[in-house]
Structures are given as structure tokens and as C-alpha cells.
Structure 1
């Protein structure tokens, strides 16, 4: 009988409005889009219950994930603009682990404060996104970085994993670029060698590679909010019962 190791990872995606956060998440293949067409208070309650159950009950996180998949199965631009909170999920295999990656999008700086700390706590990684053609979006990275640490309150802020994405590198064939790659890499180096990728959601360039790094970075996070779930191989159990000539009851 085999045992599969499974991890549920919560990733927060932050950056100024218009840098392409949602487009990147939509580009990530085979990801299931969810829309939180809820009041902020109910969102906080759901996230609080999610954190509590996934921490203390071995299968709680996947029960809630399944509930969100079942209920919020349609994407609405109107809801997104009103509430500004949605996520996509993707399952992938990393070494001997089955990983369920939840990518949460806050939909812009103007709604950041209204979501509350409960939305960010329990995160296993934070993805910062800026537009390589807009200097202001790069200059705001310090604020996003600091505000996330303030809201999420990780166990060790100096060790919490971030990944930086410089998006929209395809615009005008690169002629309108405002942030040199070296400037971005220097910023990453000054904050503990944060992994950096330049991407294009429009051209689907480097998106898979970036989010695979995000998943591995989150998985390697040694904080206590990385949860392992163990599932017995049901098919093998049934096979063993059949070989013994007994029944499963």
C-alpha cells in the first residue's frame, strides 16, 4: 500500500493595477478560476475558517477548496471590479509531492487595505508583479513588499519567500521599456536574492517557468503554514481486498 504526500500552498499575487497580474494567472495553463463575489466580511470569515481547519484537520483545506470550486464556478468582470478578490487553483507534481497551488489576486492597490490581514495570513509565498514599461509600478514594489510583511505577519520576515515578475516585456518589441533588467535584479539582490522572471502574459512567455519556481519556492518554505496531507492509495486498497477474496466493508 502506498502513501501519497500532498501539499496545499497559498500564494498571494500583488502589484499595481494594470501590471497584468490577472492575465498572468489566466495564462497559467489548466488553472481553475474562482471568483469571490462576496462581502469583505464573509471573505475574511471564509479565510479564517480555511486557515483554522487546514491547520488542525488533515483534510480540511481540500474540503474548503472543493467547496469553492463547486460554488464559484463562473468568472464575472463585474464581481471582480466590485470585490477585487479571486483565485485560481492548479495541481502539479513536484518530486514526490502532489501540490495544490492557490494563487490569490487582490485586484489592485486601491483595494489592498480593505481586504484585511486575515486574507494574507497563512500565505506560503508572495509574488510581486510590475510592468517593465511603467517605472511607477516598479517603484511601488517596496511598498507592496513592506505592506505584505505587515499584513501577513510571517514567523520570520527575513526568510519569507518572494518571487518577482517583470511583466509585459513584449510591448512595442521592448522599445518602450522603462525598467532595465539589471535594475530589477539589483532590487532582488538587495532583498535576499529574490527569484526574478521577465514574462509576457500576452505571448505566454516564461509564465510556466515562473510559476513552477513559485510552487517550488513555496514548497521549500519552512514555515509552519505548509501543510502535508497523506492519502492512502484507494485503488491499491481495493486491489488488495479483491486478492484476499473479501469485501471492503
Structure 2
């Protein structure tokens, strides 16, 4: 019988500390949000299986620390990425201004084979804060920046409310697929996940 093919797609989330990178990832993968802020130390990742047409993909989403003292960890985490997500807080002009630094840092550290066409996605997070009244970065300004960098896809989200998070990550997964630097994992049709000595069916009904 043919084996099911699963492809690993590596996604890196970058942005200043506190813009909501971890919250976005948790909302997408676990549908959960926490009001308790805890800085990411070094890097962390979550995985989520997604299906496109008849193929199964594992999205491996890396959440890296926004603090500068951890940026030296970058090379190992950035290498082999299929898509890079740049996140800023629409209520913080500084976090928006730093997008360019994060983008340049990624291209230097990751050294993608085709930097001109490497897929980025920009997310403006925290649109729910204060009903939008404390917002300082306009959608027009953000879209203009994305256009100047080669028409980067742009999404405005609320990790807290779950607004546009699913849509943004669908775009991220699609762009990661287009990058072509994918690693394939072959899975047998039957996977013995139990330690029981009971005889197991040879058919997989998953």
C-alpha cells in the first residue's frame, strides 16, 4: 500500500517583545488565550497538522524571543525556514518601525536561497485594545510598507478575540508551501501508538 506523505513546513514568528507572538501561536494551534504575559526565553515551537488537497502537512511554528539578548540564538532557529511572520502591535509605533530590522535580521541569519522572493507575512496584532482607540499605526501605513517590500501579505488580528488569526495562518501555510524548501516525512499506513500486546488491526481508519 502507498504510504501517506507528510511534509514539514517551518514557520518563524518575529517581532518585538510583547506584540503577541506567543498569543497568536496559541490561539491558532490551541484556540486559547491567556491574559498573563510571560516572556519567551530563547525559542519555543508548536505544531499543527493542516491539509491541502490530498496532502497532509505539519506546520512547525517557531516563536522566538523578542529581547535583543536572545537574538544570537537566531541562526539555528532561522535556518531552513519556509516562511517568516513579522508581527507588530498596532498600538505601538516602535514595534512597527522595528519590522524592517527583524526582516533584515532574518534574511542575514537564515540566508534563504532566493531572498528576493522569500515569503513573508505581516501581522498587525491587538486591534481589540481599547476598542481601537489607542491605535497609532494605520492600516494604510502598514499596507504601504508591505507594498514597498514586494507586496507582502498583510493581516490585522486580535489574538485575544481570535479575529483573523485562522485566515492569517492559512496564508502563512500556503506561502510556506510555495517556498519549495520543504522536508518530506514518509509515514506508514499503520502506526502502532500503543504498548498493548493485544493484536492490532492492520487497517488504519484515520
Q: TM-score under structure 2 normalisation?
A: 0.84
Equivalent residue for 2:69, pick from 97, 107, 111: 111
Is residue 86–residue 106 contact of structure 1 (8 Å, CA) maintained in 2?
yes
Root mean square deviation, CA, Å: 1.9
Are positions 1:152 and 2:105 aligned together?
no
Is residue 29–residue 47 contact of structure 2 (8 Å, CA) maintained in 1?
no
For residue 119 of structure 1, report the CA deviation from its aligned partner.
Answer: 1.8
Is residue 44–residue 64 contact of structure 2 (8 Å, CA) maintained in 1?
yes
Displaced runs of 4+ in structure 1, greater than 6 A? none
Give 1 or 2: higher helix fraction.
1
CA–CA separation in structure 2 for the residues paired with 1:196 and 1:138: 13
**SS state of the match for residue 155, structure 2?**
strand
Partner of 2:133: 175
Partner of 2:16: 16
For residue 109 of structure 1, report the CA deviation from its aligned partner.
Answer: 3.5
Structure 1 residues not aligned, in runs of 5+? 32-76, 240-249
Structure 2 residues not aligned, in runs of 5+? 32-37, 192-200
| Per-residue Cα deviation, 1:153-194 (whole angstroms, up to 9, x for no partner) | 000100110000000001111111101101111111111111
Are positions 1:99 and 2:63 aligned together?
no
Partner of 1:142: 100
Partner of 1:38: none
Are positions 1:209 and 2:167 aligned together?
yes
Partner of 2:184: 228
| Per-residue Cα deviation, 1:94-135 (whole angstroms, up to 9, x for no partner) | 122111111111121323422041221011110000000111
Partner of 1:29: 29
